[in-house]
Amino acid sequence: MNVRSHVAMMFHLDKCIGCHTCSIACKNIWTDRKGTEYMWWNNVETKPGTGYPTKWEDQSKYSGGWEVKDDKLKLKSTDKHKVITNIFHHPNQPSMDDYYEPWTYDYQNLFNAPEGPDQPTARPISMVTGKPMNVEAGPNWDDDLGGSPIYAANDPNLKNLTEEQKLQLFSVEQLVFFYFPRICNHCMNPSCVAACPSGALYKRGEDGIVLLDQKRCRGWRFCVPACPYKKVYYNWSTGKSEKCILCYPRLETGQAPACFHSCVGRIRYFGELLYDADKIEAMAKLPDEELINAQREMILDPFDPHVISEARRNGIPDDVIEYAQKSPVYKFVKVWKMALPPHIEFRTFPMLFYVPPMAPVMAMRKDDKLTSVSDNLFHDIEDARVPLQFLGNLFGAGQTGKVVYALKKQKAVRTYRRAVTVGDIDMATAEQMLREADCSVAEAEEIYKLTSLCTFEERFVIPPMHREMAMEGTTDPMFRKQEAGFGFMAGPKRSV
């Protein structure tokens, strides 16, 4: 067992209101420089929709993530001989058009335009070329189903939905969408790190944050197609790539990352997880439908004495283990099994988990009257407006079982709380629902508290970062790695 500590995240999609405050907080802190205009380390997508960059989930186009070939885990985009043939141009690179051409407006024209019959306008000016341009796409171009016949209709998660379900999803009275905020997942098994020919991308050993060394980056851009979530961006001005750093300077001073801190809906949870790094390779080779369980198995119980002793042996300080025990992410992911990783079939094992959103039941027009299929607006999961298969494609590697479990538990807790506070539901029915949802009353109370009444400190359990123990202050970790080598495979016979 090789116990590692990892800072992990959980987004409660049922609470997200799609206000983009997180994106703006991030933008203002990190990506307001030249060359980073198009970078949205944090973005909020509308689902169904094609997201940013367009159709990032479609790996038949972008070849991101891992695949199992000949019982080996291989990068889809960059196996060894492709590194040579693609070194100067990677064919699966998203183009600027798949993101958007960043622009500003010629505001001066509003003041300086010569007198004429027309009102002067501020024309859009490209921030890349500095010339006037026609805006054809932008970040959140398909926000709130904008342009849905083009964008939402091409959502890769609509795969395996029946024509009827698709039709229902897009007919006017039944329209439904939810928000899907995304940042770098700081994956357990990051494909961007594996793809980098310069060794510039690395996963910080002590907390698992995936970082990109600006000094080592040579701008080969192999990370961009390799990341299946398209969360590494190429800076066209500096010629180097950049990505979300999970606000590590804030974490090191005990503050939550900016997007977490600014979240209006309080959907974001931050906590630490202990995991077994020895199992990653074997687990990543399992079939799609077993991956969620595999990841849950890799996440270790921080209360288990054996895990604690192994963690200590690996140099994890006691107070960090203590914080792992308090982690809200651990509860949502492993104990309550309500939070699911996005697209785990990419096999990078994201460390950002989502509680799937609830949706009202389907309604349809009958004799010019809108009638719901069920009287209980939020009750019947199978009749929800968002087809289960859609959520399954997004969070369940194509399977709906885990999504149904998570939704059932959410609804049971909601019904139980309604029985407690409003009383219009029979408590016996509520308890029956809880039993069906594999949830005890105590657990329901705890879920309710952590979902609805959670304080700042309960949502963001930031472990001490122990920078005083980090070697970066005095030694370059890369040099240290080169100097130390791999150590002896077997002990030398004579003393050295």
Partner 1 sequence: MRRIILSVTVALVAGIAGNVTAQDTATYFKQNCVSCHTIGGGRLTGPDLKGVTQRKDRDWLQAFILNPQSKITAGDPYALKLVEEARGVVMPPAPGISAERAGLLLDLIEAESALEVSQFRGVQVSSAPFTPVDVERGLALFRGTQPLKNGGPACISCHSAAGVGGLGGGKLAPDLMRVYERLQGRAGLSAWLAAPGTVTMRAVYEKHPLDEKEIHSLVAFFEKQSMAGTQRVAASQLNFLLCGLGGAVLGLVLLDTIWRGRLRGVRRSLTQEQSSRGKS
Note the residues at the interface with partner 1 (CB under 8 A).
50, 53-55, 58, 61-62, 91-95, 97-98, 136-137, 149-151, 154
DSSP H/E element including 12: strand 3-12
* Least Å from the CB of residue 55 to partner 1: 5
Nearer to partner 1, 138 or 219 (CB): 138
Nearer to partner 1, 51 or 396 (CB): 51
Nearest to 359 by CA among 52, 48, 49: 48
Which residues is 68 bridged to in the sheet? Answer: 73
* Least Å from the CB of residue 54 to partner 1: 4
CA distances from 28 to 25, 146, 188, 204, 410 (A): 5, 25, 28, 25, 35
Nearer to partner 1, 169 or 361 (CB): 169
Structure tokens at 414: 């909601």
Nearest to 326 by CA among 454, 209, 438: 454
Distance CA(212)–CA(248), nearest Å, equals 12
Nearer to partner 1, 50 or 399 (CB): 50
Nearer to partner 1, 93 or 374 (CB): 93
Nearer to partner 1, 188 or 224 (CB): 224
Following DSSP, what letter does each residue of 328-375 receive, concatenated? HHHIIIIIS---B-TTGGGSS--SEEEEPPP-PBPEEEETTEEEES-S
C-beta separation of 230 from 62 below 8 A: yes
* Least Å from the CB of residue 174 to partner 1: 22
Nearer to partner 1, 11 or 346 (CB): 346
Structure tokens at 267: 């959907």
* Least Å from the CB of residue 92 to partner 1: 5
Distance CA(463)–CA(256), nearest Å, equals 10
* Least Å from the CB of residue 265 to partner 1: 29
H-type helices in 221-316, by residue range? Answer: 223-226, 248-251, 258-261, 280-284, 291-298, 305-313
* Least Å from the CB of residue 57 to partner 1: 11
* Least Å from the CB of residue 147 to partner 1: 8
* Least Å from the CB of residue 96 to partner 1: 9
* Least Å from the CB of residue 195 to partner 1: 16
How many alpha carbons fall within 13 Å on the CB side of residue 328? 27
Residue 409 sits at φ, ψ, to 5 deg, of: -65, -45
* Least Å from the CB of residue 396 to partner 1: 25
CA 250 from centroid of its chain's CA atoms: 19
Distance CA(149)–CA(158), nearest Å, equals 13
Nearer to partner 1, 156 or 257 (CB): 156
Nearer to partner 1, 149 or 305 (CB): 149
Nearer to partner 1, 145 or 361 (CB): 145
Q: How far apart are the first and last CA of the chain?
A: 29
Which residues is 189 bridged to in the sheet? Answer: none
How many alpha carbons fall within 13 Å on the CB side of residue 169? 26
Nearer to partner 1, 101 or 242 (CB): 101
* Least Å from the CB of residue 493 to partner 1: 55
Give me the helix-helix angle, 441-452 and 401-421, nearest 10°.
Answer: 90
